[in-house]
Amino acid sequence: MYQFDAVRVKDACVQWIRDFFAENGPDCNAVVGISGGKDSSVAAALCVEALGRDRVIGVLMPNGEQHDIDMARLLVDHLGIRRFEVNIRDAVDGLIQNLPADMTVTSQTIQNIPPRIRMTTLYAVSQSNNGRVCNTCNLSEDWVGYSTRYGDSVGDFSPMSFLTVDEVKQIGRLLGLPDVLVDKVPIDGLCGKTDEDNLGFTYAVLDRYIRTGEIDDPDTKALIDRKHQMNLFKLQFMPCFKPEL
């Protein structure tokens, strides 16, 4: 029976972050995009435990009005880390307005522009502050492709890519994060729906399937398997032609 040892994994992850920075920038800062949800909260808290609060920078990136921006501010205040707040609305609107007038722009295109602008913002902050960008995705989201390619799916290091949603929450509690952040209902930040509304199943069902292979509803299994197969390309290195020389 699968059992998750949150203490052991948390300690190992903290050491892994320290090792990454020792090899890839001993004096660099961790730069974390802060949304106010569990993933960015836990990622930032892990970095604080690994590096100290003076080497962690939180970047808040509302797109105009963000109804839950107070949660992001609560997180950086709780951790006592340096912050930058950059409103991306002008950049998003500017790009959308300058897309070719004779091109049909899909709703999915519009929804994915903000996370890609946010990643550009993170790297702008990182490059100007001797930083390394922290990816905040988790295994559950990655398993079904619930991320924006070259948006929230990338970064310089990823502490939680092999941890499910439930495991991330357990580590968040170990790190002493406020319950309101750990248990906050995840919203995609794109169209205003919850993650689970968009996915068509709960994270509890998905996490159990990932870790044990067990699932009760065959239709849900088929949906998860289809999403997993369709989105594997997001996790793979870009295909490259290699000539025979």
Instruction: Report yes or no on 240 lying in a domain.
Output: no
Instruction: Report yes or no on 245 lying in a domain.
Output: no
Query: Which domain does 21 fall in, by range?
Result: 6-235
Q: Work out how many domains the chain is built from and give that number.
A: 1
Whole-angstrom CA distances from 58 to 32, 77, 210 are 5, 10, 31
pLDDT at 124: 98
* Contact assessment for residue 34 and residue 140, using Cβ atoms and an 8 Å cutoff: no
* Contact assessment for residue 87 and residue 121, using Cβ atoms and an 8 Å cutoff: no
pTM higher than the cut 0.85: yes
Give 110-138 pLDDT, tens digit per residue: 999 999 999 999 999 999 999 999 999 99
Give 181-226 pLDDT, tens digit per residue: 999 887 755 556 788 888 989 999 999 999 999 999 999 999 999 9
Instruction: Report yes or no on 56 lying in a domain.
Output: yes
Give 24-52 pLDDT, tens digit per residue: 999 999 999 999 999 999 999 999 999 99
Side chain identity at residue 180, one-letter code = V
Q: CA–CA separation, 2 vs 135, rounded Å?
A: 26
Instruction: Report yes or no on 1 lying in a domain.
Output: no
Residue carrying structure tokens 């199943």: 201
Residue 237's pLDDT band (boundaries 50, 70, 90)?
Answer: confident
The CATH number for 46's domain is 3.40.50.620
